[in-house]
Amino acid sequence: MRIIDIFDKKRFVFSFEIFPPKTTSSIDTIYKTLESLSDLRPDYISVTYGAGGGSNQNKTKEISSLIKNKYGIEALAHLTCISSTKDEIKQILKELKEEGIENILALRGDVPLEEELKGDFQHASDLAEFIKETDNFDLGGTCYPEGHTDSLNIENDVKNLKYKIDAGVTHLTTQLFFDNNDFYKFMDLALKYNINVPIQAGIMPLTNKNQIERIATLSGSKIPEKYFRMMNKFENDKEAMADAGIAYATEQIIDLMATGVDGVHLYTMNNPYVARKTHNNIISIIHSLNRE
């Protein structure tokens, strides 16, 4: 099923993101995670795509196929374009099609620092346009409530977002954020620039100190003082820290639900405990919204 059709049918869409195991690990390590996540029957599960090339990228296809064909849950395969040629992308599209995958998250990927760009694409919108010319996948795209780090400012970033929609992206997922006010301001801007596709909020429960510091650096997202207080207090008790992170994310999600968000995409970090607990905290509200 196309993900845009799920948005058409449901008031609130809830999904998970997972990543393939490292190149050095066997694909088997993901089975346990998938078993546990699929029990929760999310609307779809997305699978990230390593920007660095190699066999890890094939795992995105393999895992997306398992999600769709073994567990009967819709899969969203991430695909980056910054280092790829049109022929390489064509081959990947063919392989995804053969596995029955209908949904792709069209991404640029991070620009490699030292490598000279050898690809045929500059932006996610170029990839979206090429996929639309080649085949009939339903396309998702990304957006950034605090602005993408390459952009001069958030307004400029949102203006650029329109290129993606015009190229055929039917729904958007946000970068993770920890202050809902950033999301609400972003939604106002999106409206101003006529971006009227469904937008899912990307939420990540942070559950340990190393993760918090890494995420802050990688995503560029602001981490509120409140989170650091929690971390400093509970960092030596793994379970307490995890539960505090889940409680923070739950509060964020319930506030978003109360203000009418189209959906939430949970960055699970392949951690079924976090996904299950967060899911259990909001399941009655999901049911209530989808009955409306």
The two tokens of residue 61 are 């296809």
Query: Considering the complex, what minimum distance in angstroms separates the CB of residue 113 from ligand FAD?
Result: 12
Is residue 96 within 8 A of residue 65, CB to CB? The reply is: no
- Closest alpha carbon to 4 in 43, 34, 62: 43
61 interacts with ligand FAD by CB under 6 A:
no
Which 3 state secondary structure label does DSSP give 199?
strand
110 interacts with ligand FAD by CB under 6 A:
yes
Question: Which region, judged by CB under 6 A, interacts with ligand FAD, from 4-12, 45-53, 222-230, 276-284?
Answer: 45-53
Residue from 57, 65, 125, 252 touching ligand FAD (CB under 6 A): that is 125
For 60, the enclosing helix (H) or strand (E) is helix 55-65
157 interacts with ligand FAD by CB under 6 A:
yes
142 interacts with ligand FAD by CB under 6 A:
yes
Query: Considering the complex, what minimum distance in angstroms separates the CB of residue 269 from ligand FAD?
Result: 13
109 interacts with ligand FAD by CB under 6 A:
yes
Active-site residue identified among 17, 74, 102, 129: 17
In angstroms, the CA 140 to CA 164 distance is 9
Residue from 133, 150, 213, 237 touching ligand FAD (CB under 6 A): that is 150
Is residue 175 within 8 A of residue 146, CB to CB? The reply is: yes
Q: Return the axis-axis angle of helices 55-65 and 29-39, rounded to nearest 10°.
A: 30
49 interacts with ligand FAD by CB under 6 A:
yes
When the beta carbons of 265 and 279 are compared against ligand FAD, the nearer one is 265
Query: Does the annotation mark 213 as catalytic?
Result: no
Tally the residues of the chain.
Answer: 292
51 interacts with ligand FAD by CB under 6 A:
yes
In angstroms, the CA 151 to CA 87 distance is 29
202 interacts with ligand FAD by CB under 6 A:
yes
Longest Cα–Cα distance of the chain, Å, equals 53
30 interacts with ligand FAD by CB under 6 A:
no
Catalytic residues: 17
